[in-house]
Structure 1
Amino acid sequence: MLIHPLICDTDSLTQLCSRLARSDFVAVDTEFMRENSYWPELCLVQIGNLEEAAAIDPMAQGLDLTPLLDLLTDNPDVLKVFHAGPQDIEIIFNLTGKTPTPLFDTQVAAMALGQAEQIGYANLVESWLGRTVDKGARFTDWSRRPLEARQIDYAIGDVTHLAEIFPKMLQRLRKTGRGAWLDVEMEKLGNPAQYTPDPDTLWQRIRAPSRNAQVMGRMRALAWWREQEAQDKNLPRGRIMKDETLADIAAHPPSTQNELGKVRGLSAAWRENDIGARMMDALFAARPLRPDEMPPKAPRGPALGKEGGLVADLLKLLLKIRSREMDVAAKLLARSDDLEALAAGVRTNLAILEGWRFEVFGRDALALVEGHMAFAIADGRIKMTRTGLTKDLPDAPEPVTLVEQP
C-alpha cells in the first residue's frame, strides 16, 4: 500500500480525491480536539483504500478541503467506511450541513457478527487481522504543529487497517445473510437530525428536580440560554453552567442577579457580569410548560409492577438465548426499554416489532408475552417451546439490500 506524506496543499488533495473517487469504498477517520470547545476542532483527516492512504492537515494554511468534502458527501458511488463513526460524521456535518453517504460503520457491523456491543478499534484489528495496534500516540494533542512522523503513522494506521477489515467483514455478512440488517442502522447513523442540536429540546436531557410545570419551564429557558452562550463562545456547555447548577436554579430561582453569588457552582462574579444578566433575563422570560409540552412520565420500568417486571425478565432471558444462538450482540436485537415497554403492553413504535428485528426476535418476544411460547429444559439446556399459534401478528416490512461491493 502506498502511504503518502502529510497532505498540506489543495493540489495534492485534489489529485488524491480524484483517484479515491474511482474506488468502491474508502476508509475514513478523523482526529480532533473538543475538550475546551463547543465545536470539535478538526485537526487531521485520514482516508484510504487498499491501494493508498494519506493523512490530510486541515489546519494547513491555504488548504481547501472542498475536494475531500465533496467526495465524502456528494459521491454516492463510493462507500464511506468508519469505525464508531458518529463523532467523525458530526464534524463532516458541521462543515457541510450534510452527512457522508453511503456509509458503513464497522462497530455496528461487528455487533451483527457476534462481537462486543461497542468493540474498540484496537480489539477489532486484533480479532480480524491478528495485529496489535500501537497505542503510543493516542493521547496526542492533535492541534499542535508540527506533527511528528510517528503521530502521522499512528493516525494513518486507523484507515489502513480498516481498509483491510471491511472486505473481510462484508464477506462474512454476506455468508450470514445479515447485511440487510445494517441498512436501517446506517440510515439512522446518517440521519442529519442526529447531528443538529435543538435548543428547544436539549433541556429534556437534564435530570429534572420535579415535574412542576413552572420548574420545567425555567429549565427549558435556561437550557436554551446556555446553548446559545456555549455556541457563541465556543465553549462546552458545562463550562458555561453545569447541569446540576442549572436544575438547582430552575427549582430555586433567585429573585435578583445579586443572589447568583450565593448559588453553588457559580462564582461571585455572576452577581454583576453580563452573562449573569443574560441568564436572569432568560429566567424572568420563562413560562410554565403547557400540559401538551410536558415530557412523558419517567421510566416505564417501575410502572410495570411485579408481574410486568417478571415478564420483562423473561423477555431479557429470551434475548440472551436468541443472541447466543445467533451469535449476535444482544444490544443490536433489542434494547431493555423496548422489552419493558412490550412487557407493559405497548404494541406500537417499538423497534423490535418492525423490520428484520421482528423477524429474528420480535415475533418470538410477542409470542412469549401473548402466552404462545414457554421456556423448557431439555438435556440440561434452556429451550423455547411454542404452546400455540400466534394470531394477528403484524408482517414486517420488506428489507432493503446493503450497498453491494465486490
Structure 2
Amino acid sequence: MSINIQLHKNDLPDDLNLGNIIAIDGEFMGLNVRRDPLCLIQISTGNSDAHIVQFDRENYNSPNLIKILNNEKITKIFHYGRADMAHIKYYLKTDTNNILDTKIASKLARSYSDNHSLKTLIKEFINIDISKQFQSSDFGGELSPSQLKYCANDVIYLHRIHDQLIKILIRENRIELYKNCLKFLKTRVELDLAFFKDDIWSH
C-alpha cells in the first residue's frame, strides 16, 4: 500500500483540511514526561496519509496543531492516548478533546486476548504484519525514511481498527463501559502529571 507521508516543521500548514475524524500519535525521547521531550505528532485522515509534525523544541509554537487538538468537533483516535495526551499537555500546553482510544477499546472488547499492542490489532483486523523495529529509535534528530514509515504505520490503520472494535463492543454490550472510560481519560492524564502513577482505586 502506498502511503502519502508529509513532514512539516513545527506546525501544520494553515490551509490543511484533515476532516472531522483523525488518528493521532506522538513520539517522545522516552516515557518520562518531564525528562523526555515530545518530538513528533503524526496525524492521518485514514486515507493512507500521514502528516508528521516535527517540533522546534525551543518553543513548541504550533498554533494550527493546537487548534485541532482542543477542537471539540474534531474526533481524535489514539492508541494508548494516555501517554500522548500527557506529553501534549505538558509541552504544547493544551488539552486534547473528543478522544477515542483503540487500546482501551481493545481491552474491553478483546477479552479473549491478553495482547493489545497496535501491532497485534493491525495483524488481527487489517491482516498486515508491520515492523516495530524503530519503536525505540531516536526521534529527536533527522528522520530517516524508515522512521517516517514507522510513524505513518502508527496512525493510518486506527480508523479501521476502531470501527471493528466498536462492532465487538456493541455486540457484547460493553459500549457504555467504553464511553465511560473515555470520560475518565483526561483525569487519568492529570493524575499522571501530578505523579499519581498507582491505581487510585486499589486497596
Using a 3 Å threshold, how does the CA distance of structure 1 residues 61 and 6 change in structure 2: closer, same or farther? farther
> 2:179 corresponds to which letter in structure 1?
D
**Structure number with higher helix proportion:** 1
Q: Is the 8 A contact 1:85 1:105 kept in 2?
A: yes
1:30-69 to structure 2, matched below 5 A, reads 30-34=26-30, 38-51=34-47, 52-59=49-56, 64-69=61-66
Q: In the alignment, is the contact (CA less than 8 A) between 2:25 and 2:43 conserved in 1?
A: yes
Specify whether residues 137 and 68 from structure 1 end up closer, same or farther in structure 2 by C-alpha distance, changes over 3 A only: same
Q: Is 2:126 aligned against 1:154?
A: no
Instruction: Extract unaligned runs of 5+ from structure 2.
Output: none
Which of structures 1 and 2 has the larger relative contact order (alpha carbons within 8 angstroms, sep 6+)?
2
Asked if the contact 1:29–1:82 (Cα under 8 Å) also holds between the matched residues in 2, the reply is yes
In the TM superposition, residue 176 of structure 1 has moved relative to its aligned partner by: 3.2
The equivalent of 2:164 in structure 1 is: 168
Q: Can you list the C-alpha shifts for 1:109-133, whole angstroms capped at 9, x where unaligned?
A: 1122124456111111111111111
Give the equivalent residue in structure 1 for 2:183: 187
Question: Where does residue 131 of structure 1 map in the other structure?
Answer: 128
Q: Offset at 1:143?
A: 0.8
Distance of 1:162 and 1:67 partners within structure 2? 22
Contact 2:33 2:86 in 1 (8 A): no
Contact 2:88–2:95, Cα closer than 8 Å, also in 1: yes
Residue matched to 2:15: 15
Please list, as runs of the form range in 1=range in 2, the aligned pairs for 1:228-243 lying within 5 A after superposition. Answer: none
Identical counterparts, % of pairs:
20
The 8 Å contact of residues 8 and 60 in structure 1, kept in 2 or not, is answered as no
1:224-303 paired onto structure 2 within 5 Å:
none
Looking at secondary structure, tell me which structure has more strand per residue.
2
CA deviations over 1:317-347 (Å, ceiling 9, x no partner): xxxxxxxxxxxxxxxxxx9x86xx7xxxxxx
Shift of residue 134 of structure 1? Answer: 1.1
Q: C-alpha offsets along residues 153-207 of structure 1, whole Å, 9 cap, x if unaligned?
A: 1111100021321222223333333221112211111125324316xxx6x97xx
**2-side partners of 1:128 and 1:37: how far apart?**
31
Give the count of matched residue pairs: 198
Give the 3 Å change call, closer, same or farther, for CA 59–163 of structure 1 in structure 2. Answer: farther
Aligned to 1:93: 89
Structure 2 counterpart SS, 1:43: strand
Structure 1 residue runs without a partner (length 5+): 206-334, 342-406
Distance 2:50 2:190 in 1: 31
When residues 185 and 62 of structure 1 are mapped into structure 2, their CA distance, relative to the original with a 3 A threshold, is closer
Give the TM-score normalised by structure 2: 0.83
